[in-house]
Structures are given as structure tokens and as C-alpha cells.
Amino acid sequence: MSNLIQPHGGKLVNCLVDEARAKALTAEAGSMTRIDLSAKQSCDLELIANGGYSPLTGFMGEADFQSVCKEMKLASGDVWSIPVLLSVDKGSAPALGSKVALFAPNGTLQGVMEVKEEFVHDKALECTSVFRTDDDAHPGAAQVKAEGDVCISGPVEVLTLCVDPDGDEAFLDRRLTPAQTREAFEKKGWKTVVAFQTRNPIHRAHEYVIKCAQEITDGLLIHPLVGETKKGDIRADVRMKAIDALTEKYFNSAATMVTVLPAAMRYAGPREAIHHAIMRKNYGCSHFIVGRDHAGVGKYYGTYDAQHIFDEIDLDNLGIIPLKFEHSGWSKTYGGMVSFKSFPKIEGDIVFLSGTKVREMLEGGERPPAEFSRPEVADVLIGAAKEGKLFV
């Protein structure tokens, strides 16, 4: 009997077929309707298959879609905040009962789906519910609007998990499934594990909240997202080098684990915070760090909206414990990292740098202050900037 948190819905899904079945499906795929997945859809398929999206066993049908948008739960009643859809062009939807071949963006046959349902993709409902806006300037809303007008759903069989099996940035050696992370936690003797989600390098404020959380759990999973991100975000390979440079010197390896999450960013702010928490529950984590402006973009969400949304859902069903942290930074008066919860606000005391200012410094080969970023992290970022390989 495992001492770890149970997967969402009670059972870890596995849709990856064995070698014999994969060979048979490959032979059949030529007679199926071909669907070329977007990067986001391919990431979603991987997470359905490996159990990261448990209890989903395929792309969502209409009942789940409507319930998720309106109630933040699946039709089964389980908490869920982000639709996971396979949308296609209106005139290309295959017949119900047929099978379709799902190809990753690099042309690899990733899976096969039996089409059980077809329904209209209500983009207005999805955008206003999930992103709180239908503004074309919002990257998540713009992406949904560009998708197909019809959704198809059904159970999937997956032949290969990885979006880009031959790519240098696929992180195959660090791309552990939920079953594998759970096995690793068990071997380490961890019963409670805190997860840290990031799509950025880890700066000093991140490090502070991570270490606070690490004090109350057996282990830490630093779990950077390496799926699709928007133009202008820092590249995943650069982020991983920066995280390695940081953890090798400043973290206890016996209580720390670094692996990757093959998810695509939605930039859905509060809703995505819940989405990220559910995935980490499936990976075996009992606690999840929620900082300021989690998964936010622009000015679409309030600073702490991603924390407040956890008060609106059934936390018992969610299972994983959200750890909510205040804005933190280096206090010149205190001489160390503090949050506004632990130290009084003093005008001009905290070292804060805007993202624009940090970008300008890195591109100019200048290190941000040590109070903001560890020098080892800054050096990785400066090196990538000099090569013109810092941003997506």
C-alpha cells in the first residue's frame, strides 16, 4: 500500500500500449483519417497517456467540457479547471465510431483515438470561463480562437509519449511519468512532497518560498514546464541549465528532485493554478506552491487571484494542499529574503526588478543584483543571451 497521495479520481491512468499493440496500430493507421496535432494537443495527449491528466482517458466530451467551463469540475464531480479538447475543422470531422490517427507536430504517429462524440467548440464559453477574457491579445484566448470549430472525443491508445522523440530539447532522460516519480518518491521514503511549478528560471524570491515549503515536507519536486510556451518566454533548455546550476550548489540533493512536466502553457492564471496542482497530485505530490500571479500574463488577473480561486473549489476532492505565499524579495534593512507577511513594508527596502529591466541587463551581458538572482543562474542566462538563444 502506497503512503503517497492517491491520483485524482483514485486511479492512475495509463494509455500507453505495449510494443505488439503499437506495431498493429501502426499498420492500421494508414487506413485511418489523419489528424495533425498542434503542439498543445500533442502535450495534452502525452499527459492523458501517462496519467498526468488522470482520471481522463481521452479528450473531453461535451458534458465534461460544459461542466469544466461552468462549474470547474468534470461531469463525474471531480475538480477540474481547464478543458482538454481535440478540435478539428468543421468539414473534416471523421465519422462517429471510426478511428483516427493522431500525429505529433514532428510527423510521428503518437496515438489512435476511437471517435465517440462530436460537438461544437464553444470558443466564447471557453475563453470567458477559462481566461476571463476573449481578448485576442491574450495568448491562450487567441490560441483557442484559432482552433477548429468542432471537437471530437473518445478513448485513446498512445504509441509514443514524447512530442519530439528525436529532439535535443525533449529532455528524455528527465521526462518521468507520474508512475516513475511516484516510484522514485517511494524509494526515497518520501510521504509528503511539495511541487514547484515554473516556466522561468528560479530567482531568489522563488528560492525563498521553495525552501520555506521544503521545511514542512519530506521532499521537493522542482517540476519546470517544458511544453509549448509563448514567444518571448525563456527557452526550456536554458531554464533547465539554470535550474541545474542553482540546485547543484544551493539545494540538498537528498531532499530535492528535478524532472520536467511536458505540459503546454495556457496562461489561464487562476484556473491554470488548479490545473497545475491536479497534475502534480497525479505525479505523487501532496503539496503545491502557489505564488503571486501564478500562470498569469499581462494584466488579466489580480496579483493573488490564483490563490483566491482555491477557496472556490472542493479542497477535499482536490486532495493536494495549496501553499499560498506572499510576495517576497531581498530586504536591505533585514539583510535577507522576507515576505510582506513576515517583515514590515518599508518604502524602497525590497530589491525588485521588472522583467523588462532584467531582460535588458541579461541581453547587455550585465548580471542582475545578487539579491535578485544567484550569480550561477545569471551566468547561464547571460551566456544564452550572447548566443541569441535566450528566448523562444
Question: CA-to-CA distance for 326 and 324, rounded, in angstroms?
Answer: 7
Catalytic residue check, 199: yes
Q: Enter the DSSP assignment of 385.
A: H
By DSSP bridging, strand 193-198 and strand 287-290 are parallel
DSSP 261: B
Burial of 179 (0-12, 13-18, 19+ CB in 10 A): middle
Which of 50, 175, 182, 199 does the annotation list as catalytic? 199
Whole-number Å distance between alpha carbons of 352 and 329: 7
CA distance 297 to 350: 23
Spatial separation of the C-alpha atoms in residues 167 and 226, rounded to whole Å: 13
The one catalytic residue in 14, 106, 132, 200 is 200
- Alpha-carbon distance of 186 to 169, in angstroms, equals 28
Residues 5/281, Cβ–Cβ less than 8 Å: yes
Cell of 371: 539579491
- Listing from the earlier edge strand, what are the strands of the sheet with 256-258? 256-258, 219-224, 193-198, 287-290, 321-324
Contact 58, 65 (CB under 8 A): no
- Which residues are catalytically annotated? 199-200
